[in-house]
Amino acid sequence: KMKSWSSLDTVESDFRPLVVIELAKGTKEETIEWLTQRIVDKKADGGAQLLIKPLVTEDGHENIYLVGASHLRLLLGAETVGLVKECNDNSMRAFTYSSRKTFKDFADDNHNFLTMSECQYIIKHELENLRAKSEKMIPGYPQAKLYPGKSIVRRLLTSGILVQIFPLHDREELKKLRHSWYGRVKVGYQPLDDIRCYFGETIALYFGFLEYFTFALIPMAVIGIPYYVFAWEDYDKYVMFATFNLLWSTVILEVWKRICAILTYRWGTLLMKRQFEEPRSGFHGVLGINPVTGREEPVYSSLKRQLRIYLVSLPFVCLCLYFSLYVMMVYFDLEHWALDYHKENESTFSSLMLYVPSIIYAVVIEIMNRIYRYAAEFLTSWENHRLESSYQNHLILKVLVFNFLNCFASLFYIAFVLFDMKLLRQSLATLLITSQILNQFAESLLPYWLQKRHNKRMKKRVSSQKTDADLSLAEQVNMEKEMGTYLGTFDDYLELFLQFGYVSLFSCVYPLAAVFAVLNNITEIYSDALKMCRVYKRPFAEPTANIGVWQLAFETMSVISVVTNCMLIGMSPQVDALFPDSKTDLVLTVALVEHLLLAMKFIMAFVIPDKPRHIQMKLDKLEFESLEALKQQ
């Protein structure tokens, strides 16, 4: 029988479990032995040099393993993954073991120098980089082929031997975080640094963006309220509101880049070097030589991928867009029918029926979005992208285009084909509020309720009257492994993106949208926090320096909103009245104003620096130092 403790050079008495590995039930003994041996083997022998310990559950099965590492191993791992930490002189530098003494808060016995999520990220990185040497297959599973350099863990995952790897929660820390995050009712900022320490940069940046975006919407909401209360419909007031909105949306997106730079500089990810990306786990192809690395790995023709994208995915997406437009037309028929019905038999029932088509349509949109999402995932996966980032970009693009059309096509139709501002306002309100309620429910509250019920049943089975903090490690692991997996910030950003669309695209018709958005986002912060802390397994931290493609998506939306708002203002009867003689002059004036606004937007985006001066200076200083160091060599 294998040893519970690995034979590491520095045997530590306090094994701290960080990551859980769950193998399939009935995994062959030889496979387990081989895997654990590879995990504990020295780096020099091609191992990961980590600690691993089986977790003996009550039913005697041994399919769950806890992975940890010695303090020294983690520090060396921090250097490998390129973690950036603060030095004693307050500058941020890539951590190296040899210069460890120059880092703030470093002491040989300070095991909190690396946060727990950083340790878990290091272990994940080391496990994923555990590569096959001369093995042709996974021992015991001849169908699970290996080749030199192939990531063992990825092959184990794809062949189903490894069920999941996930980092453990830290019950104490989580309790503290929950308390400072949403435990008490308070006015103030979220504890972003604590969130980052616990969940990593990607998630902290999402919450940072959500908070920033909510604050940024407040001026719009405040200015929007009197428009609703006093029913202002004067031409000049509308123009002022729209102009303010357009410039404001440019400013907030530019300022976000600066705030993002401040946050990620403090967290060290702004300076983190991009790691070389390995092929994503789903990537397949004929074994060949990668021209970049010179290593043997699956190779897939780029031409084939292009053909798949342009000849299959693109037509499919277009077809879906067409279908979505078709559904929209059906909705308008229904709407028309409901109106007729109401006119014929004026009753409470018929007046309620007026709202039915909108609500049905909102629900159908949500359903279509979700179905399309699966199709998009399947197609993008079938396109066989080599890198996870390229897969993500193609997926996001597909989903964004469809969601955009699905959510806004009807509003565009009402506004620019039917010219019905009243209906537009009503539809906008219905869509916005329905989708917000649906989202909050489907995303957080429903899973929370399910999770809670499940936990109760679990606890009842395990022991009668324990609180969360009292649970034993085995009980904690068993509870957490059943929790849902957080699938990344995609859906959360998408929700914000669509909300931004509702607020900015037709802002001059429905100034109250910003108010609803602010209210939604305040509850969203709480429900998303709840979701992170209570519903899902702890996710692995993912270092990131910005919100990536979403910045571009939001900027594109703000460009489109210039066009729509200018058109809406041009169509308002008040503006119409200013050009009594010629409608052509009106259209020309509106087009001119639109072009000027667009030019102003681009100039503003160009003039506002992406990084604050003091951050830029620190970056320059680092670059200068590295150049000087190069010269000294």
How many Cβ atoms from other residues are within 10 Å of residue 411's Cβ?
22
Give 580's contacts (C-beta < 8 A, 6+ positions apart).
none
- Check residue 623 for interaction with a copy of itself (CB under 8 A): yes
What residues between 601 and 620 interact with a copy of itself by CB under 8 A?
Answer: 613, 617, 620
Q: Least distance in Å: CB of 276 to a copy of itself? A: 5
A 10 A CB-CB count for 276 gives 7
- Given 576, 591, 596, 610, the residue binding a copy of itself (CB under 8 A): 591
CB 578 → a copy of itself: shortest distance, Å?
15
Q: Which stretch binds a copy of itself (CB under 8 A): 62-70, 272-280, 322-330, 420-428?
A: 272-280
Give the list of residues 6+ apart from residue 129 with CB closer than 8 angstroms, or none: 48, 151
Given candidates 164, 293, 463, 485, which one binds a copy of itself under the rule CB under 8 A? 293
Q: Measured from the CB atom, is 216 or 586 closer to a copy of itself?
A: 586
CB of 292 to a copy of itself, least distance (A): 5
Nearer to a copy of itself, 387 or 458 (CB): 387
Nearer to a copy of itself, 465 or 632 (CB): 632
Residue 35, judged by CB atoms within 10 A of its CB (0-12, 13-18, 19+), counts as buried
Task: Using the minimum distance from each CB to a copy of itself, give the nearer residue, 367 or 588.
Answer: 588
Could you say whether residue 624 binds a copy of itself (CB under 8 A)? yes
Angle at 607 between CA 602 and CA 608, to 5 degrees: 105
Question: Rounded to an integer, what distance in angstroms lies between the CA atom of residue 382 and that of residue 226?
Answer: 52
Looking at the chain, how many residues does it have?
A: 633
Q: How far apart are CA 302 and CA 312, in angstroms?
A: 15
Q: Interface with a copy of itself by CB under 8 A: which range of 182-190, 405-413, 444-452, 588-596?
A: 588-596
Closest to 223 in 3D by CA, of 204, 209, 210, 238: 238
Q: Please tell me the distance from the alpha carbon of residue 326 to that of residue 319, in angstroms, as a whole number.
A: 10
Decide: residue 163, CB within 10 A, 0-12 exposed, 13-18 middle, 19+ buried: middle
Nearer to a copy of itself, 292 or 487 (CB): 292
Nearer to a copy of itself, 47 or 139 (CB): 47
Q: Which stretch binds a copy of itself (CB under 8 A): 130-138, 243-251, 422-430, 585-593?
A: 585-593
Which residue in 26, 291, 573, 580 binds a copy of itself (CB under 8 A)? 291
Rounded to an integer, what distance in angstroms lies between the CA atom of residue 56 and that of residue 604?
Answer: 61
For residues 188 and 294, which CB has a smaller minimum distance to a copy of itself in the complex?
A: 294
Neighbours of 136 (CB within 10 A): 10
583 binds a copy of itself (CB under 8 A): yes
Taking the least distance from each CB to a copy of itself, the nearer of 470 and 585 is: 585
Distances (CA, A) of 18 to 40, 68, 144, 195: 15, 5, 28, 18
Query: In this structure, are residues 68 and 16 in contact, taking their beta carbons and an 8 Å threshold?
Result: yes
**What is the contact mask toward a copy of itself in residues 212 to 251, using x (rule: CB under 8 A)?**
----------------------------------------
Minimum CB separation of residue 602 from a copy of itself in Å reads 9
Q: Which two tokens stand for residue 354?
A: 């007026």
User: Shortest approach of a copy of itself to residue 511 CB, angstroms?
Assistant: 25
Q: Which of 418, 563, 577, 578 binds a copy of itself (CB under 8 A)?
A: 563
Binding mask 57-96 for a copy of itself (x = CB under 8 A): -----------------------x----------------
How far are the Cα atoms of 228, 432, 525 from residue 359, in angstroms, in the given order? 23, 11, 26
Task: Give the residue, chosen from 312, 356, 588, 596, that forms a contact with a copy of itself under the rule CB under 8 A.
Answer: 588
Q: Pick the stretch among 70-78, 118-126, 174-182, 270-278 that binds a copy of itself (CB under 8 A).
A: 270-278
Minimum gap (Å) between residue 346 Cβ and a copy of itself:
38
Candidate ranges 44-52, 222-230, 287-295, 483-491; the one touching a copy of itself (CB under 8 A): 287-295
In this complex, which beta carbon is closest to a copy of itself, that of residue 110 or of residue 275? 275
Q: Which residues contact 240 (CB under 8 A, 6 or more apart)?
A: none
Report if residue 273 touches a copy of itself, rule: CB under 8 A: yes
Map 80-146 to HEC letters. Answer: HHCCEEEECCCCEEECCCCCHHHECCCCCCCCCCCCHHHHHHHHHHHHHCCECCCCCEECCEEEEEC
**Structure letter (DSSP) for residue 539:** P
Residue 275 within binding range of a copy of itself, rule CB under 8 A: yes
Strands 162-167 and 19-23, by their bridges, are: antiparallel
Residue 1 interacts with a copy of itself (CB under 8 A): yes or no: no
Q: With contacts defined by CB under 8 A, name the span among 209-217, 231-239, 252-260, 289-297 that binds a copy of itself.
A: 289-297
| H or E element at residue 23 | strand 19-23
Number of H helices, E strands in the chain: 22, 10
> SS3 for 200?
coil
State yes or no: residue 584 binds a copy of itself (CB under 8 A): yes
Residue from 72, 334, 587, 604 in contact with a copy of itself (CB under 8 A): 587
Q: Is 186 among the residues that bind a copy of itself (CB under 8 A)?
A: no
8 Å CB contact between 411 and 424: yes
Name the segment binding a copy of itself (CB under 8 A); options: 215-223, 311-319, 422-430, 624-632: 624-632
- Which position has the token pair 């440019």? 250
What are the distances in angstroms from CA 24 to CA 32, 62, 103, 144, 165?
A: 11, 10, 42, 14, 12
Task: Return the closest-CA partner of residue 81 out of 250, 313, 274, 228.
Answer: 274
Residues that bind a copy of itself (CB under 8 A): 80, 273, 275-276, 291-293, 302, 563, 582-584, 586-588, 591, 595, 613, 617, 620-621, 623-624, 627-628, 631
